[in-house]
Amino acid sequence: MNAPYDKVAICPGTYDPVTEGHLDIIARAAVLFDRVVVGVVAASPRKDTLFSAEERVAFLRESLADTDSDIEVEIFDTLLVDFARKWRARALVKGLRAISDFEYEFQMAQLNRKLAPDLETIYLMASPEFSFLSSSGVKEIAKYKGNVDDLVPPAVARRFAELFR
């Protein structure tokens, strides 16, 4: 799994689908940590997913294939803190786009802190060019045949083209 000296972070999410904003956060986390594990939520309790967990993992793996960083992608269907313990992670890394993200993320961070006081939650501010970008927004654009080529990795754009001909 990982050596005890590794600084491991988990970047959890639904990634339905992965966007360029997600990839930016993952890449920035990879600079800060020895290993980044992208945890793909198998089934979200908050929303239905368009893509299967396996498809979301495939999008991520293809998108991250050319990175030199130590990045793993794995599906999980447990408490996030248990997934983090499995990897001996020190931190959860998440992106924040706007104040509207903060309320939910603050609640989740406090719950995770209660369950795992030794696990830090670190927020990276979205890069300005991605501050408006969301998976749900991308799905809506694609559904109505808008161009999402610069918002998502090529594998996702191709899949959208197949789905919404």
Is residue 88 within 8 A of residue 4, CB to CB? The reply is yes
Instruction: Please report the beta strands in 66-142, taking only residues with DSSP state E, as ranges in sequence order.
Output: 71-76, 91-96, 120-125
Give yes or no: 94 in active site. Answer: no
**Catalytic residue from among 47, 143, 145, 158:** 47
DSSP 55-70: HHHHHHHHHHTT--S-
Give the closest residue to 92 by CA, choosing from 75, 62, 113, 76.
113
Give yes or no: 135 in active site. Answer: yes
User: What is the spatial distance between Cα 113 and Cα 64, in angstroms, rounded to a whole number?
Assistant: 29
**Catalytic residue from among 63, 135, 139, 159:** 135
Give the closest residue to 152 by CA, choosing from 144, 142, 162.
142
Q: Which amino acid makes up residue 119? A: L
**Catalytic residue from among 22, 35, 56, 159:** 22
**Catalytic residue from among 7, 86, 97, 113:** 97
Pairing mode of beta strands 8-13, 120-125: unpaired
Give yes or no: 47 in active site. Answer: yes
Give yes or no: 22 in active site. Answer: yes
Residues with catalytic roles: 22, 47, 97, 135
